[in-house]
A and B are shown apart, each in its own frame.
Chain A
């Protein structure tokens, strides 16, 4: 095998292995290095070298951008496809990344679900229907009503007669009901005979 011509540091730095091909022109090498940079194939010194070259050459920045668009267009269109088919780019070099993310996401969802169930269980039985669809509709309408939102940090009243203490604060008693109650009370008191009250009103 004939000795290969000397190569730039960026060329030989790629995987530490010389490319068994006729030496490409510097232009082609830069164009390939842009791709190698994006694929994470360049070691740190070669990356720095490539960045230096980009800083001095605007055309190389454009080349880098074009390479980025090309690679993005060649990649799976969304992460769901990628996950179902294989590990996406870069995740291979750090397989624990996905597991770390799922370790954060799963407890967060569990906490959210627990908080939702706890909040939902505070509402009357008629709201807590066994029908899952109605549950979802009721829950969404309850959660959508910000005036009934329950502060999870607040203490829950254990009085069985008043399962939703905060709701009472938001209820307005109609005037006719107050009048009726008032009348009823006066009926029951011995010092106010009903006949007098009836005459006074009607």
Chain B
């Protein structure tokens, strides 16, 4: 999609609509990452499109991607706040728990079909890149992300301080993110 700056103000609504369509996959994934619930993410996505179209006059072609992300984020946060209020009504203890947040409780894992947009070849390349990491980083990432174990469990299992396990995981993930083979793939 090309957003031509010259005729953008006249066709801003059409351009925003086209941008929503083009960025739909990324924006929905982004919303799912924040809300963790496919239903809430769908709700937020609809709200985002409606709001974006309503305020399409404020969109600029050079910043439209960031603009849409901000609208999506705001809508997702509104939904999270509404959910927290609702859960506080039904379960007042939920407000007291610092680490509890509503959407995460019944969250799908990254293995759910909603994340199947990640292509098989991407998974393959990620696995190859993972093998290039030091073994201890590979093991912590595998246990935390693939097996879904907590850092506390991993550190107890490996008989290592929690901080060491955290550091290995963080270094490994950041190295993966910097891997040139993955950088372009993650932009797709």
Give A residues with C-beta under 8 Å from B: 14-15, 17-21, 28, 31-32, 35, 38-41, 43-45, 47, 51, 54-55, 58, 61-62, 64-79, 81-82, 85-94, 97
Q: Are B73 and A55 in contact (CB under 8 A)?
A: yes
Q: Are A75 and B109 in contact (CB under 8 A)?
A: yes
Considering the complex of A and B, which 8 residue pairs feature the smallest CB-CB distances, nearest first? A58-B66, A88-B109, A75-B110, A20-B163, A66-B186, A73-B126, A72-B115, A61-B69
Could you say which of B33, B106, B112 contacts A68, with CB atoms under 8 Å apart? B33
Number of B positions contacting A (CB below 8 A): 61
Q: Are B148 and A81 in contact (CB under 8 A)?
A: no
Chain B binding surface SS class = helix
Report if A20-B164 is in contact (Cβ < 8 Å); known contacts: A40-B104, A58-B66, A69-B118.
Answer: yes
Report if A85-B147 is in contact (Cβ < 8 Å); known contacts: A58-B69, A66-B187, A77-B111.
Answer: yes
Q: Are B33 and A91 in contact (CB under 8 A)?
A: no
> What residues on B are CB-neighbors of A94 within 8 Å?
105-106
Which of A47, A58, A81 has the most chain B CB atoms inside 10 A of its CB? A58
Give B residues with C-beta under 8 Å from A: 26, 29-30, 32-34, 36, 63, 65-66, 69-70, 73-74, 77, 98-101, 104-113, 115-116, 118, 120, 122-123, 126, 130, 141, 144-151, 161-164, 166-167, 170, 173-174, 176-177, 182, 185-187
Q: Are B174 and A82 in contact (CB under 8 A)?
A: no
Q: Are A89 and B145 in contact (CB under 8 A)?
A: yes
Could you say which of B98, B115, B144, B148 contacts A91, with CB atoms under 8 Å apart? B148
